[in-house]
Structure 1
């Protein structure tokens, strides 16, 4: 399959990643090279597996540091190589503080502090936030830099240390369920109800490219959501379509939503 034919299956914004992933797979299959990536989101992992499945001489394994990891690193290698004991290069960044205000910090506060230091998002995996602080999964090679430079998170003085994966304090995401009655499964209609915004206000971030559905960029407000979709809107949060329960006599659709809080 040509590169042009491959592009047809993906969003234009994903072209750069498709190019990189294609090269990784080709190098593994044809030059017998092994590549460990930085952290990928689930959409990128899907693209990588799709490309690898088209090449019988390459294989891909994923690891994110925890059993339910959303963001994961990948190893792409020739199909004959055993990857059972391959090191994924992931450590735990333990962020703590003596300041009681640390219990008020959320995922965005910690991520913002890390990115504010110039760290690229793909060097950071999942963040496990609790009242005691945060355990951030990170690429091994940035641990030393963070120990020397991360001093605050949202104006709270913090102390950081690097720990092995065995000491990860895993926190399961909390999902707040609600049942909506919607006219259709259009993205703008469902999102406006979930985030309690007018249809007019929800259009701007969608058209500006700030919305992803199951980690794929979506700029069409009329996009039809389906059961299982995860919608993420930058600046507003994210939710999952848990179940489409049916249609009422008036023609409206009952849908059960899980909003990540």
Structure 2
């Protein structure tokens, strides 16, 4: 990878970059498609950047089971191949539960799925319209989830696989906010997104209340990069959607996508 490309990425992203490079080489050498697990938006961005800059003619498409999905599987494929939705091998589950007597929460569902003895990347988005809940997973894991999951928290449930066309209209649409920050430090971004003091943002991070791209956030002064997402307990989620340059006062002009916790 050339130095110009390297500057887009962090040292900590090197193992993933190596993995993507391996997939691209495999498709070019074996002339067949390769499908990944579910990747976050930052990983999809890295993969797209690498796919655009490699010499062999390998194409890439990302899909998460429905339009606008946050977590997506990537299909790398040779030029002769025409990808279809079925190639992404994604199953959409309805979570059937007694709606009148129980309430489900995103954290309950995520926690149960993540603790079902599987890697986090075998299932994708968990979505709701405020009452009904659905999630997507790799089709090869659908039977496993069906067998393993019979409750979320104390609520008894059963899972029903449905056609992708039956995806519910989500209520958690991102709200874009354009603002300026002194830096791309995690505490600066949290301060700007949720109108908090820098001190409180730092406390949340040091108290383990913030996650970066579904993983632990190392420290408050960690620099964010394009399409990084922070989940902040009790406040919501914020994604760095765009970096538009500097103001005359040397502040960074950015666009954040924000979902506030209910």
TM-score normalised according to structure 2 size: 0.76
Larger radius of gyration: 1
> Offset of 1:39 from its aligned partner?
1.1
Structure 2 match to 1:69: 69
Aligned to 1:156: 155
- Indicate if the aligned counterparts of 1:66 and 1:170 stay in contact, CA closer than 8 A: no
1:233 to partner: Cα distance: 3.3
The within-5 A match list for 1:216-231 is 219=219, 221=221, 223=223, 231=229
Measured in 2, the distance between the counterparts of 1:101 and 1:238 equals 28
C-alpha change, 1:254 and 1:101, in structure 2 (3 Å) is farther
Residue 42 of structure 1: CA displacement? 1.2
Equivalences for residues 1-261 of structure 1 within 5 A? 1=1, 9-53=8-52, 54-84=54-84, 87-98=87-98, 100-103=100-103, 105-175=104-174, 184=182, 187=185, 188-192=187-191, 194-195=193-194, 198-203=197-202, 206=205, 210-212=210-212, 219=219, 221=221, 223=223, 231-233=229-231, 235=233, 237-240=236-239, 259-261=258-260
**1:37 partner SS:** strand
Alpha-carbon spacing, 1:82–1:254, altered in 2? closer, same or farther (3 Å): closer
CA change 1:146–1:107 in 2 (3 A) is same
The 8 Å contact of residues 122 and 138 in structure 2, kept in 1 or not, is answered as: yes
> Cα–Cα, structure 1 residues 196 and 158, in superposed 2: closer, same or farther, change >3 Å?
farther
Farther off after superposition, 167-176 or 135-144: 167-176
Aligned equivalents of 1:32, 1:82: Cα separation in 2: 13
3-state SS, counterpart of residue 56 of structure 1: coil
Cα distance per residue 1:62-114 (max 9 Å; x no partner): 211111111111111222323246521011111121153543x2222211111
Q: What is the SS of the residue equivalent to 1:173? A: coil
How far the C-alpha of 1:11 sits from its partner, in A, is 1.5
| Structure 2 stretches lacking a partner, 5+ long | 244-249
How many residues end up aligned between the 2 structures? Answer: 252
Partner deviation per Cα, 1:219-242 (whole Å, 9 max, x = no partner): 5628489xx866413535312578
Extract unaligned runs of 5+ from structure 1: 245-250
**TM-score (ref. length: structure 1):** 0.76
Residue 247 of structure 1: aligned partner: none
CA deviation string 1:150-207 (max 9, x = no partner): 1111221112121221222231424568898x87455424413644655334325657
Secondary structure, in 3 states, of the residue corresponding to 1:100? coil
